[in-house]
Amino acid sequence: MKLLLDTSTPVCRLTLVDDDGVRRESHWQADRTLADGLLSYIEDTLQMNGANLQHVTGLGAYQGPGSFTGLRIGLTVLNTLADGLGVPIVGAQGNDWQDTALAKLAAGNDERLVMPVYGRAANITTPRK
């Protein structure tokens, strides 16, 4: 099963693709809870589809552009899962990013580390405190 993840906006989008190419899409209004809840969201979504992390054979990540923090959190989680599970990971951009990622995985690509593409320089604000 392939797991595709987009954390570039406050709505986290996860797609599971089984060996027959059937896609199961879900989304979660993560907002400011992305860091706290992303792993649980992934595990819960897998469980609702009769799977667990051990069933994941490849990971596809939306690289951006998008939210600095959202991309950073999502890619850190996926890069860590890829390393821990020993599965390939690829990144992609654009409207057809999922198809691109699946094609890369089908071709046997493994980028081993996917980096974000923010689309512009980071806008880092001063702390509010």
Residue 111 is assigned to a structural domain of this protein? no
Q: For the purposes of burial, counting CB atoms within 10 Å of the CB of 29, is it exposed (0-12), middle (13-18) or buried (19 or more)?
A: exposed
Question: pLDDT over 70 for what percent of the chain?
Answer: 98
Residue 80 belongs to a domain with what CATH number?
A: 3.30.420.40
Residue 61 is assigned to a structural domain of this protein? yes
β-pair partners for 23: 17
Question: What's the average model confidence in pLDDT over 82-87?
Answer: 97
Residue 102 is assigned to a structural domain of this protein? yes
Structure tokens at 49: 């589809």
Q: Is the pLDDT of residue 128 over 90?
A: no
State the residue range of the domain holding 92: 2-106
**b/e sequence 97-129, b meaning 16+ C-beta within 10 Å:** bbebbbebbeeeeebeebebebeeeeeeeeeee
What pLDDT was estimated at residue 122? 65
Interatomic CA distance for residues 37 and 92, integer angstroms: 23
What's the pTM? 0.90
Residue 119 is assigned to a structural domain of this protein? no
